[in-house]
Structure 1
């Protein structure tokens, strides 16, 4: 079991969640601009505190069932990411970044750190992510990190009083070493049109 996790990238750091992250997490979990793309509605301060304390408790489980990590930039909480184990040597990735940090290198750097952790330290064979079809920047980041489109999941998430589809993407261990910063050659159509 890796505990505590602290991973430093070029732009961001990933670390275990802390109690003081509860209030700061509202910049993500309590912001409608962010939760519009997530699988839950905006959370209250009490709900954010429950979310963070739950992540802290699960971090000490053996065997560990997930890595729910805070994303920081310049020691400031800017988001979270979660690798939740599902299946044999597989994990589902969930992530969110504060709207004020969209369009920066924060997102790509964070996902590169997670991909490296998943392959080198956790021995994962597969990491998947479900992305809202309208989030072009998230789709582009996934493709640049070598993820492949697997398909569309219809009515995957009920959020903000309505059903939302998701695009399912994944990367396999043998593809991690081959990841290029170019678009997949398997499709000329943008992922959000599939």
Structure 2
């Protein structure tokens, strides 16, 4: 699975990052830094963040996919990187679950890329054996809430002070789907 995991649907490709993507990826991240700041988890200041090269980041993601610890993929549209979708923190054994995360470049917001990418990766996660996929969303993130609702994720409650984001510990609403939930609607089956 590792570096070879590629998922596609009309007009959408989910694929691993490669060393050749460094310049484009770094430019995409820099261009969207302010857009993502209110929503993206970061390391709190008291923790030492590991300084990692892009190549090391790519290797780490490859290892996570190979070991099925996470399923991180870049979102590509028309040959250009547009964002990221990941199922992180995969747990096996009796739990068989993971956490879905995603982001898209500001100029692609509202284009249906995120629900299509999230459905495609969630369906893949169920095929490889996960039973449950969760999404943790800041309650004020209306766009992300709409993604969860479009995909039929059910809101289950709130986790207080759950992730460190934008300079503080933030509460999150938790949405989930299980493999047993019916996958009906425009985003399931063909990726949109």
**TM-score bin (small chain):** 0.7 to 0.9
Measured after TM superposition, the shift of residue 101 of structure 1 is 0.8
TM-score (ref. length: structure 1): 0.78
Contact persistence 1:11–1:109 (CA under 8 A):
no
Contact persistence 2:138–2:170 (CA under 8 A):
yes
Measured after TM superposition, the shift of residue 179 of structure 1 is 3.8
Could you list the per-position Cα deviations for residues 73-122 of structure 1 after superposition, in whole angstroms to 9, with x for gaps in the alignment? Answer: 111011111112135321111111111111111111101111211112x1
Q: CA RMSD in A?
A: 2.4
Measured after TM superposition, the shift of residue 173 of structure 1 is 0.3
| Aligned mate of 2:87, from 83, 87, 90 | 83
Is the partner of 2:4 in helix, strand or coil? coil
Contact persistence 2:40–2:166 (CA under 8 A):
no
Contact persistence 2:98–2:134 (CA under 8 A):
yes
Measured after TM superposition, the shift of residue 52 of structure 1 is 6.1
Runs of 4+, deviation exceeding 6 Å: none
Please give the alpha-carbon distance, in whole angstroms, between the structure 1 residues aligned to 2:52 and 2:20.
Answer: 9
| Aligned mate of 1:37, from 36, 39, 44 | 39
Please give the alpha-carbon distance, in whole angstroms, between the structure 2 residues aligned to 1:114 and 1:168.
Answer: 18
Question: Residue 18 in 1 paired to residue 18 in 2?
Answer: yes
Question: Residue 104 in 1 paired to residue 107 in 2?
Answer: no
Contact persistence 1:94–1:129 (CA under 8 A):
yes
**Which sections of structure 1, spanning at least 5 residues, go unmatched?**
42-46, 182-194
Please give the alpha-carbon distance, in whole angstroms, between the structure 1 residues aligned to 2:53 and 2:176.
Answer: 29
Contact persistence 1:23–1:48 (CA under 8 A):
no
Measured after TM superposition, the shift of residue 25 of structure 1 is 2.7
Contact persistence 2:139–2:171 (CA under 8 A):
yes
